[in-house]
A and B are shown apart, each in its own frame.
Chain A
Amino acid sequence: MNAPALSAVIGQPVSRVDGPAKVTGTARYAAEFVPDGLAYASVVSATIPRGRIRALDTSAAEGMPGVLAVVSHRNAPKLPYLERDQRPPVDPKSGDQLRMFQDDKVLFNGQPVAVVIADSQQEADAAARCIGIAYDETEPTTTFDPGRGRPPSEETAKGGRPGAAGRGDGAAGLAEAATTVDVTYVQAREHHNAIEPHATIAQWDGDSLTLYDKSQWVQNVVVEIAHVFGIEAGKIRVISPFVGGAFGSALRTWPHVTIAAIAAKMTGRPVRVELSRRQLYHSVGFRPHTLQRVRLGAAPDGRLTAILQDAAAQVATYEEYAETTLQPAETTYSCPNVATAYRLVEMDTNSPCPMRGPGIVTGLYALEAAMDELAVALNVDPVALRLKNHADINEKTGLPWSSKALKACYETAAERFGWADRIAAPRSMRIGTDLVGYGMATAIYHADRAPAEAEVILFANGTAVVRTAASDMGPGTYTSITQIAADELGLPVEAIRFELGDSTLPMAPVHGGSITLVSVGSAVAEACAAVRQKLEALTGEGSIAERLRANGLDRLAASAKASPGEETKRYASSAFGAVFVEVRVDEGLGTLRVKRMTGAYDVGRVINPKIARSQCIGGMMGGLGMALMEAAEWDPRFGKVMNANLAEYLVPVCADTPALDVTFVPSEDTVLNPLGAKGLAEIAICGVAPAIANAVFHATGRRQRHIPIRPEDLIGT
């Protein structure tokens, strides 16, 4: 390892190495591969929330031009759906995954019930509309009724989402408090809505299967599909060089991947399944609607005596996706008495799944909004209250932090933002006719690392290739890993090509949970060190190219595996941040604009400040959407999202974008990994929504205990 201070490449604002390919359109996404003889699929979705298919009339569709096959439970192959030895971390911990076309049951509105394969997408879509389906409906459960909430199953609890957790005595801590708050918050169901829709192309060659897929984890797709079809993993290859955004929606292997493979098998042609925007709302998960109650107790000096946080989240009936919603209650602040209770409310819906900052961002919304309410009740500054309760260690595990610069985040962000100018009383700041509000919140997201492997090949022409089966869904992995390799090999960035997104490459963990850089980056650094060692063993001197040529070699390769070790038992690791927001409210209209946002982050060593900033401003805008716009409009009559399109499901656009100020406080975490980084993705959306909600209260004096907050919430009395 070079010492960071000596690095010429790490820490530089290198522009994206894949940027030219993306802006010129040569970067190829899953749906854009065109194998010879490609056929096109159109998925037919159920239109009832629960019941059985009584009759399915495919005769008209089968006779339409270009139609190759119509597949449903009546003619689909019976698939083994073998149990995996261990569920991948991206799947729910219990329940049964949806099985494609294996029976007549309908478990939610939008479930795939048939697929049409045709010579063109238009022919497939036209035929799909001509399939007649009669259902026997059963009484569905389509309302979110927290009274029906149940604790998670044992498997889910073991997976870190227990029904009850905490320390000390929550009730006693609340009883001894001089000041308490007891508040309830609602967070709406949100959808990922990445620009690129999910798509899979399946191509069989005998008993070998190639899948071009939008995926955050190509090697898990291999194992999953091997189990679904009962075939050897070695027969499957998954290719996913570019991902047009995902935010967690491409972590697991969804049913449409299986549909593509079934369709290709039955037609003997490569088949593309590309989900429509509307289908994405019932096909690839979402952030679940969550109701939370937070009770906080504090001593007269502001020290927390109790944190009690309960959450109830919607869940599908067939699969149990649960979140780490209540973890921030245990880790964010120092408090002797913490009690959390987690409940799941079953509904006839498709299964939710992780979405940026999964669980944490939800729990943190309620906790940080409640902390603001406590600060008001105590009449103390919200930043001072947080500093007073700073968690010097991780009190959930009792372990010291491997690094923590949260105090510097508060200080730096407050100063850059101008927090000192805030007049504490609500409704006391105005510009023109607008009310002005300042709000802030803490951000926290645990930093993890997983084993990873990489291969590095040096060539006699002076270039190098780095290979590992990672993904880059947009955060800049292509670039940051290239920088690490350039640094380790002493080569310019331009001399290095990073190959990823192919399951045949060396093992890489899931591209999610902000772990890619520290996991894959560490493996790449070690592989580089290994190849350098080999190089040094060669005779001769000079550049890499010169030494290879001197030894008559056209290439020199080395591989390495890097894994976390004992440090994970001795330390807790986390990224931290502080987010400050100014909002302007036009009280006549209830309209609310975020005017500016400042975030200071402790993410360890920053490999590329330009890309890191992009990650953070993207997260800020995701948080702005969560706070003010994004919500699935659910119709309980149909068990269906009614605004399943980007015209009616509002997301922030350029015109909504405030001045965004991002800064990274000095930090390095060489305990978590030798690179000193902590991972940067989830942290950037954490804390944004509560900071905005708190600013809305400060502006208006009206506490909004739900997100999104909409104009109509802010007018009238």
Chain B
Amino acid sequence: MIPGPFHYHRPTSVAEAVALLAAHGDDARPLAGGHSLIPMMKLRMAVPDHLVDLAAIPDLKGICEDGDRIVIGATTTQREVIGSDLLAARLPILAETARQIADPQIRTKGTFGGNVANGDPGNDMPALMQCLDAVYRLAGPDGSRTVPARDYYQGAYFTALEPGELLTAVEIPVPPAGHGYAYEKLKRKVGDYATAAAAVVLTLDGGTVATASIALTNVASTPLHAAAASALVIGTGLDAATLKAAADAAKAITDPATDGRGTAEYRREMAGVMVARALAKAMRRAKGA
């Protein structure tokens, strides 16, 4: 399969990229790792007239610490996320999640920013960003703004990103040292999108949960922040009844489609299992830390 013809642009600054995107509007698409866009172009499901390649913009790359936040540039690859010592120390759940994305070839090219920006409900990072209450930095022709991950996703492939805007970086508040975390993902086959997946970050006060955040991947047209389930586990020791109640609360907000990964009923059920297992694993890690 061969994509349709397009004009190729290779800006070297964010301002230049944004100008190009703004000038061409809906006819232009930013190109990062290309692992979503290029297959769509080869199938002619996407036929952009202008491709704005972000590879030559140094400002979009890299991982750094900014006070109590970690900032990840949009064109940082999943492989760089996995290999980052800073993330391993501060936010180990990022590497745990990135390792479960697709396969090594895709992780080598695919970018963190592309994964969170394009609104594919199968992507893993969006739910994790909601779990961590991350904030997306967007640059547009009228300047920059930030949008919380929990407000960014509107529907499958529909996001808060306006035409001409570019997601430049993600700011993630660093959870306290010793926090518990887990990203549990069920796949029908290696490399697949999730049948259901859950991200959990929690902290303990003594033996009970002090803070908790739960989010779900691929069980609705957007990632889901499971606020009720999260609230429910706070103050508990995550006994069996609590785990079940949290799983049930998480299941209640899901709306999965029946597809090749299973029936809607199965996928909803699995979302609950993923939440319970992620909570239990996060608890073990918090206690072990």
Contacts and interface: CB of A to CB of B under 8 A. Distances in A.
Interface of A: 122, 588-591, 629, 633, 643, 648, 650, 653, 655-656, 710-712, 715-716
B277 A588 contact: yes
B95 interface: no
B263 A653 contact: no
Interface string B175-212: 00000000000101110000100000000000000000
Contacts of A629: 189
Interface stretch (B83-91, B149-157, B216-224, B265-273): B265-273
A648 B273 contact: no
A249 B265 CA distance: 37
B5 interface: no
Contacts of B269: 715-716
Given A589-B186, A643-B260, A712 B277 contact: no
Contacts of B270: 589
B260 A712 contact: no
Nearest to B262: A712
Given A589-B273, A712-B263, A650 B2 contact: no
Nearest to B186: A589
Contacts of B186: 589, 591
Contacts of B263: 712
B277 to A, nearest CB: 7
Contacts of A590: 266
19 contacts: A122-B2, A588-B277, A589-B186, A589-B270, A589-B273, A591-B186, A643-B260, A650-B188, A650-B260, A653-B190, A655-B189, A655-B190, A710-B262, A711-B188, A711-B262, A712-B262, A712-B263, A715-B269, A716-B269
Nearest to A121: B2
Contacts of A655: 189-190
A711 B266 contact: yes
Contacts of B262: 710-712
Contacts of A588: 273, 277
Contacts of B189: 629, 650, 653, 655-656
Nearest to A276: B1
A655 B190 CA distance: 7
Interface of B is mostly: mixed
A147 B186 CA distance: 39
A711 B265 CA distance: 12
A643 B266 CA distance: 20
A643 B269 CA distance: 24
B37 to A, nearest CB: 17
A559 to B, nearest CB: 49
Contacts of A648: 260
Nearest to B1: A125
Nearest to A587: B273
B117 to A, nearest CB: 23
Contacts of A656: 189-190
Contacts of A643: 260
A712 B266 contact: yes
B148 to A, nearest CB: 32
Nearest to A649: B260
Contacts of A710: 262
Of A588, A653, A710, the most chain B CB neighbours within 10 A belong to: A588
B99 to A, nearest CB: 14
A441 B260 CA distance: 29
Nearest to B270: A589
Nearest to B260: A648
Given A588-B277, A648-B260, A710-B262, 14 more contacts: A588-B273, A589-B270, A590-B266, A591-B186, A629-B189, A655-B189, A655-B190, A656-B190, A711-B188, A711-B195, A711-B262, A712-B262, A712-B263, A712-B265
A417 B186 CA distance: 30
A711 B266 CA distance: 9
A655 to B, nearest CB: 4
A653 B277 CA distance: 27
Contacts of A653: 189-190
Interface string B272-286: 010001000000000
Contacts of A715: 266, 269
Nearest to B188: A650
Interface string B156-175: 00000000000000000000
A9 B277 CA distance: 56
A714 B84 CA distance: 39
Contacts of B188: 650, 711
B274 to A, nearest CB: 9
Contacts of A712: 262-263, 265-266
A522 B97 CA distance: 58
Nearest to A712: B266
Nearest to A715: B269
A16 B235 CA distance: 65
A712 B273 CA distance: 13
A65 to B, nearest CB: 14
A122 B265 CA distance: 42
Interface in B246-263: 260, 262-263
B5 to A, nearest CB: 13
Of A633, A643, A650, the most chain B CB neighbours within 10 A belong to: A650
A712 B265 CA distance: 9
Of B2, B190, B266, B277, the most chain A CB neighbours within 10 A belong to: B266
A159 B272 CA distance: 54
A716 B273 CA distance: 12
B260 A633 contact: yes
Instruction: Report the 8 A-B pairs with minimum CB-CB distance, sorted nearest first.
Output: A712-B266, A655-B190, A588-B273, A648-B260, A712-B262, A589-B186, A650-B189, A712-B263
A714 to B, nearest CB: 10
Contacts of A589: 186, 270, 273
Of A590, A629, A655, A710, the most chain B CB neighbours within 10 A belong to: A590
Nearest to B273: A588
Contacts of B195: 711
